[in-house]
Structure 1
Amino acid sequence: MDLSQIKMVVSDMDGTLLNSKHQVSDRFFELFKSLANRNIRFVAASGRQYHSIVDKLDPIREDILVIAENGALVKDKERELLVTPIEHHLKNDLLSIVDHIEGAHAMLCGKYNAYFDGKSAPFLEQLKEYYSSYEILDNLHDVTDEIIKIAVYHSINAEEYIYPAMKGLESQVKVKVSGLNWVDLNHSNAHKGHALEKLMNAYGLKSHEVLVFGDYNNDLEMLELSDYSFAMANAHPNVKQIAKYETLSNDEFGVEHILEQLV
């Protein structure tokens, strides 16, 4: 494995760069300095909202590119490079479908603010981990903000209890199981692969110059773009099937293990 031509490193957050306690290691920040010294760009690519991502990476927030909300928002510092919202009428149709799924809780994700309703209150502490900027409203159907993602939460298993009811919508929206408890609904063109492709084109990068890490189904499209795609040991079976390589788990510093070889 020859990593000598890598010019960009792209990593998912939860289950990948973050450990099971949702923490970034000190070792990663040390390795980031080595990447920067070699003019290798770092991209944080997550289903999280923008504010939540940069809060986790606060020491380097001014030096990274961010793919947020599964690719619906891409930013370079304060500059928006890509925004792909869900059509307003479709947003309310999707909310109505979620309302009829037992145990499902919808969150609306604007570019910089999330919206919960009262039904999500019992899960508020869990939700705060992913949404650092939010409002609690009586009725999500009344939200007029531009929405770039609908995140649907299930306390037991989203792939088992939510995805079967949503997969029939895949001709209208991108439906992704993004974690044990989450199914995400985005515009059909809003996914990490589309966002990364835009960045690769903007910086003139080829597949052999990009290193990508992921662990769940919302990472599949971006993993396919790289000759050096890595599935975490804790990854979903679909990710291990698509990725060309495998590294250690997120709790065993799998990202750092490969970055040490890179630098």
Structure 2
Amino acid sequence: MTLPFKAVAVDMDGTFLNGERTYDKKLFDKVLTQLEERNVHFIVASGRPYARLRDDFIEFVDRMDFVTANGSRLMSDDKEIGITTMKRETILQLIEEVHAKYGKIATILFGPNMAYVGADAPRRDKDFLRYFAGNSTEVKGWDKLPDAQFIELTFHYDRKFASQIERDFNRKHGKLISVFGSADRAIDVNAYGVSKGNGLKEMLTKFGLTGDDLIAFGDGGNDIPMLDFAKYSYAMENGMAEVKNHARFIAPRNTENGVLRVLQEYLDKDQD
């Protein structure tokens, strides 16, 4: 049997990572080596910024590719190969309107190499957001933001409000943002049209591949576009019900090494 895919895409939180936000590095090295022997690309597709992902995979970073910030920034061989930014004025308008409606919830803004955390956020929320940020600094007022590139905004708030935020803002300002409920208490905002699916499409095109060559794993709302794009789509057993409706298959839970177990099954069959 020959592997039916030429690229693998995995979400991180709730998918590739276990409950302690770690992964079995020995097993991953084994699976990654077997994939490399078959010229299969391994791609992390995450809402996390590259600074965080690079730390997560520091031993493997030169053997992988990354679709980061929900598809806003593409990295290969530790080099940026694509980026989609948000306008500063759009970000400031959105923060002002969301805070006015929902309260001054913990907020973090990601640039390619630096993240900005609101100084007035609760300490517990700051620590939670900083974990995902990699490199970060506090801002005392969002109007004090530097003139820089920005690729993603995250509100530490119930994901059920994601579609409402997108609808309300775009209705008022035009089609400027795409919003995803990426975790129970995380709402990610990117430039309009950005998604993991579109980011993977752009990256795979550079490799001469399509969605028909892709196996993808996810559990959250921001994973739906990539599961729709991939021919071999897996929702995690622990994933959202809505996500499972967009997947062809179900993988074991993230706490049970679900992603690596499925990949190892494919690899074992390839040796028969």
- TM-score under structure 2 length normalisation: 0.90
AA aligned opposite 1:190: V
Q: 1:105 aligns to what?
A: 106
AA aligned opposite 2:149: E
1:89 alignment partner, SS class: helix
Q: 2:137 aligns to what?
A: 135
Q: Are 1:153 and 2:156 an aligned pair?
A: yes
CA distance in structure 2 between the aligned counterparts of 1:198 and 1:179, rounded to whole angstroms? 25
CA distance in structure 2 between the aligned counterparts of 1:106 and 1:125, rounded to whole angstroms? 12
- TM-score under structure 1 length normalisation: 0.93
Q: Are 1:231 and 2:235 an aligned pair?
A: yes
CA shift for structure 1 position 209: 1.6
Q: Are 1:30 and 2:30 an aligned pair?
A: yes
1:119 alignment partner, SS class: coil
Q: Is the 8 A contact 1:211 1:227 kept in 2?
A: yes
Q: Are 1:244 and 2:243 an aligned pair?
A: no
> What is the root-mean-square deviation in Å for CA atoms of aligned residues?
1.7
CA shift for structure 1 position 250: 0.3
Q: How does 1:8-157 map to 2 (within 5 A)?
A: 8-26=7-25, 27-100=27-100, 101-102=102-103, 104-122=105-123, 123-143=125-145, 144-154=147-157
Alignment gaps of 5+ in structure 1: none
Q: 2:270 aligns to what?
A: none
2:239 alignment partner, SS class: coil
Q: Cα deviations across residues 114-162 of structure 1 (Å, max 9, x unaligned)? A: 00121225123222321120001211222122111111113xxx12456
2:189 alignment partner, SS class: strand
Q: Is the 8 A contact 2:159 2:180 kept in 1?
A: no
CA shift for structure 1 position 82: 1.1
Deviates more, 1:227-236 or 1:92-101: 92-101
AA aligned opposite 1:37: E
CA shift for structure 1 position 72: 0.5
Q: Cα deviations across residues 73-104 of structure 1 (Å, max 9, x unaligned)? A: 00112321111001121111111112211262
- Equivalenced residue count is 259
Q: Cα deviations across residues 206-225 of structure 1 (Å, max 9, x unaligned)? A: 33321100111111111111
Q: Is the 8 A contact 1:84 1:189 kept in 2?
A: no
Q: Is the 8 A contact 1:3 1:262 kept in 2?
A: no
Q: 1:215 aligns to what?
A: 219
Alignment gaps of 5+ in structure 2: 268-272
CA shift for structure 1 position 172: 2.5
CA shift for structure 1 position 55: 0.8
1:39 alignment partner, SS class: coil
Q: Cα deviations across residues 202-247 of structure 1 (Å, max 9, x unaligned)? A: 1121333211001111111111111100000011112100011111
1:24 alignment partner, SS class: coil
CA distance in structure 2 between the aligned counterparts of 1:73 and 1:142, rounded to whole angstroms? 24
1:251–1:103 Cα change, 3 Å:
farther
Q: 2:192 aligns to what?
A: 188
CA distance in structure 2 between the aligned counterparts of 1:232 and 1:187, rounded to whole angstroms? 27
CA shift for structure 1 position 113: 0.7
